[in-house]
Structure 1
Amino acid sequence: MKKSMIFIFGILAYIIFLIAFLYAIGFVGNIIVPKSIDSGPETTIGSALFINIILLSVFALQHSIMARPKFKKWFTSIFSTAMERSTYILLSSLALLLIYWQWQPITTIVWKTESETITLIITILFFLGWLIVLLSTFMINHFELFGLAQIFNNLKNKKTSSPKFQTNYLYKIVRHPIMLGFLVAFWAAPTMTVGHLLFTVVTTIYILIAVKYLEENDLKNALGKQYETYQNEVPMLIPFTKK
């Protein structure tokens, strides 16, 4: 019964993730969704800045704290190891949904492309960024990354082995292609408003800090010399550079 409940919990967490991921495309791109980054009632700039930074900070703190090995060790000492990743994915998705719900638009335009050709190119880059994010998850292990392998193995009384270090496809070009995809998608805006720019700048700073000072250190501690060699051979985020 417990294993069945963990399985259902993991499936629900994945479904909520899919909703949050798909909504993110519409939210950032101002397409289809009922409330996007530039839609909804506006408040004062000061109030909007304060609320939006708090929202982004909630996501950043949750995302960073729960991804650390010490937190994972504490979590699995209380709850089933099989549900650790699903819990992380669920809370990350809920933090994103909170951003979509409570985001305060600031629609003053910073830049707007006039050329239809340039607009088309930027729009293609926008969708390319999201495609890079999605494909990059499958280039390692999508189902393990989002907790599905763990809950399925737990249901079948199988032990999930430790994640294997893989450098497939895009991972031979940059060490963090998922984050690169997000950066491309966030910055590729034919029309950039102050609110959108705030979102993009804050998330960019967070990605750079989290990747360089948290994720990289965790990987180096876990993999040792193997990851140090990878660091020397493949750039972190910018393709075809030394670092």
Structure 2
Amino acid sequence: MRLFVALYGVISYLLFFAVFVYFIGFVGEFYVPKTLSSGEAPGVGFALTVNIGLMLLWGVQHSLMAREGFKIAIEKWVPHHIERSTYVLVSTIAMALMMYFWQPIEGIIWNVESAAYQMIIGTFFALAWIICFAATFLTDHFDLFGLRQTWLHFVKKSYTDVTFTESLFYRSIRHPMMLGLLMAFWAVPTMTVGHLLFSVGMSIYTMIGMHFEERAMIKTLGKPYELYCKRTKKIIPKIY
């Protein structure tokens, strides 16, 4: 049973990693067959309904499963050592569904034709994902994606909470992962109406998510995190 738990954690992580790499191409609109703007555009009303529904599905799943009350409610069927891996797996499925069923919407908001500016935007896009990925290791990458929990169960060790440290990005901003995502959502040379809908919707969710994440962190860490919030900004050093 312990081996099964360990394999479950690894499989959930590998599936997430594969889908997330595809997601980068999906958002950046390169190297993958299905992107935000690819395919034949249906009617605007249909596309809006489907796309907003997909983002709501992803957002509700992402937020609901992260709530402490939900974790307690499912603890009988999903014990702590596989809870995070299960969250990662279900989130991965939700992300894959959003990409698969996403409907393109015609119309160009902006189109950068200059090769030099395209390179600048591409560099900004790459930097966004580097920040996002690096930030996961500044906390605990393997705990965040459930591998640490399943490994500790496998080797019969008790789980201990990850200690929060103010390292690198976290010295000046509280949400470097979210910053990376927000940068990536908007750093595209060609912004279609469909891509704009995605960028706006996901940006709104990201901003809301930061609020609830901070509430949870204050509840968990108490006064030290409150003081940390007072001396740092959310996503832009010294500004916001």
TM-score in same-fold range (> 0.5): yes
Q: What range is the shorter-chain TM-score in?
A: over 0.9
1:143, distance to aligned residue in structure 2 (A): 0.6
Q: Which amino acid aligns with 1:155?
A: F
1:209 maps to 2:203: no
Paired residue for 2:89? 90
1:232, distance to aligned residue in structure 2 (A): 0.6
1:6, distance to aligned residue in structure 2 (A): 1.3
Paired residue for 1:127? 126
1:192, distance to aligned residue in structure 2 (A): 0.3
The CA distance in 2 between the partners of 1:95 and 1:60, in whole Å, is 9
Secondary structure class of the residue paired with 2:110: strand
Q: Which amino acid aligns with 2:162?
A: P
The CA distance in 2 between the partners of 1:103 and 1:33, in whole Å, is 14
The CA distance in 1 between the partners of 2:84 and 2:165, in whole Å, is 19
Q: Which amino acid aligns with 1:66?
A: M
The CA distance in 2 between the partners of 1:71 and 1:166, in whole Å, is 27
Paired residue for 2:80? 81
Q: Deviations over 1:209-240 (max 9, x none)?
A: 1211x111111111111111110111011222
The CA distance in 2 between the partners of 1:78 and 1:167, in whole Å, is 35
The CA distance in 2 between the partners of 1:79 and 1:29, in whole Å, is 35
Task: From 224, 235, 238, give the equivalent of 1:237.
Answer: 235
Paired residue for 2:117? 118
The CA distance in 2 between the partners of 1:13 and 1:121, in whole Å, is 35
Q: Deviations over 1:66-92 (max 9, x none)?
A: 111111222324322110000000011
1:141, distance to aligned residue in structure 2 (A): 0.6
Secondary structure class of the residue paired with 1:39: coil
Identical aligned residues as a percent: 41
The CA distance in 2 between the partners of 1:219 and 1:74, in whole Å, is 20
Q: Which amino acid aligns with 1:8?
A: L
Paired residue for 2:28? 29
Secondary structure class of the residue paired with 2:86: helix
Paired residue for 1:62? 61
Q: Deviations over 1:17-68 (max 9, x none)?
A: 1011100111011111111111122100110011000001010001001111
The CA distance in 2 between the partners of 1:70 and 1:207, in whole Å, is 21
Paired residue for 2:216? 218
Secondary structure class of the residue paired with 2:166: coil
The CA distance in 2 between the partners of 1:34 and 1:95, in whole Å, is 19
Secondary structure class of the residue paired with 2:149: helix
Paired residue for 1:5? 4
Paired residue for 1:50? 49
1:172, distance to aligned residue in structure 2 (A): 1.1
